[in-house]
Structure 1
């Protein structure tokens, strides 16, 4: 194949979720509502944790970072997806596509690591309550979150660099609604001998590593819970972990399906349908799941609503 064809692709056309105009308008309305609710819900959690001193604990410290990641995550894809649904045109330049790949991959890696840090925090709180305050100091909290962000940036750089270094010389129509690294990779016309193994290894590392930490942490938590004599203590321990387990199941289940399937040659509708769960559904469910049965969040909300300034406005 000639060099002029190898370098000819300068933009991609995102096929999107539907080609039907009426369906596109309907999806625009639905996703606009979900995007707005995601931003408001996660921002509300951050504000509540900031203003209520009762929530200044390691668990809520990690939760604010998770909410911040979710806000950034949906913002890297949401506005563009909404614009494409309105215009009916899914064109995106190669540069913007690469930037979006990096942003989503970085934030996805960071979320995986933050979820494992949250599991580690719960394990310490339940299994070693006497040393919990000393071990999970403010310094240690910042070290864990900083490491999550740093490793996310690094691993995303490896995967995305391996992808964009490949030539794209065939069709520029991508069967997806945003530039996702494993999907874009399938459209490369020449595959380096080492590129696919490196990408698969990094994807496996960022998924299996944190997931193993979560499984070990909750294994230890379950063991400690069954050793408890008090039913009230058991109920409280299980209650504090249930929300996190639901989020982990939703997030990891779909990511593992997408990123740990070597040998799939072409993108199909399953890729974008799966992506809807962790791009649109999971971010909006996080604030709901973490606050629905959380009495501390309820109390913080009640305090905010009872503030004089708020009452005067209402």
Structure 2
């Protein structure tokens, strides 16, 4: 659920909400949260979903919402609109595609959305950026991560310039690591692989020979914050997702604690260099407090993610390990 105060304010607000990349993790999670706050009938009236193909999106409450092709976004009539922009070819695609094709495809998506903002009446904008952009600024990104981060940084600048010129609200969030329902591509996320280990009755495996530090934020917490910023019409903000920085072995032990009898297999840390990737939690926490949004405890975020994966990956459950309620 969204933060109760945000959900109530959202019900009283009349903005149309447009989501690009609506079939991805963030898009589907946002649709579920909006449907719970508004109800499926109002959701259909106020929310428009766009993605790479025309299809029906199945929501957690059993309802559906049509997704239109992103190319048709300018067909929307002009009306006060908040755009949640999550459409982007992910880092794994940067590995599989030719670099020039990958860059051209993402720039085309950015340009398509940017060109539509004025035409459809956008007053508020959320941009799902990445911590990879910060690594590019710091000069520490390499390979596919560098290309991905460069394009994310470029997109940040383009949307921030649009918002500044029009005195619109823009929440540009450098996302590091998230928790919550609708998590996809579990093989790409350490937390999802940990949870699937536990649900399969295996020890939670952390194979890296170096210290790995991550910080996880609840997606529903983050989206509550972004909606609160839209509701206050707060101008342009660029910030990191937060969370308490923790070594993956400690995070694995939290995951294991939710499945009786589950252990942890943490490889010995023998490499001298550490893999540290997380945002500025102090600034993120200050934003949450300034909007009166309660933090979702880490263990609760892990439990919610486990519930979702347990329901969506039932074949991974070990005999005697119940599906999360």
What is the TM-score of this pair, normalised by structure 1?
A: 0.25
Larger Rg: 1
Query: Comparing both structures, which one devotes a greater share of its residues to helix?
Result: 1
Query: Comparing both structures, which one devotes a greater share of its residues to strand?
Result: 2
What is the TM-score of this pair, normalised by structure 2?
A: 0.25
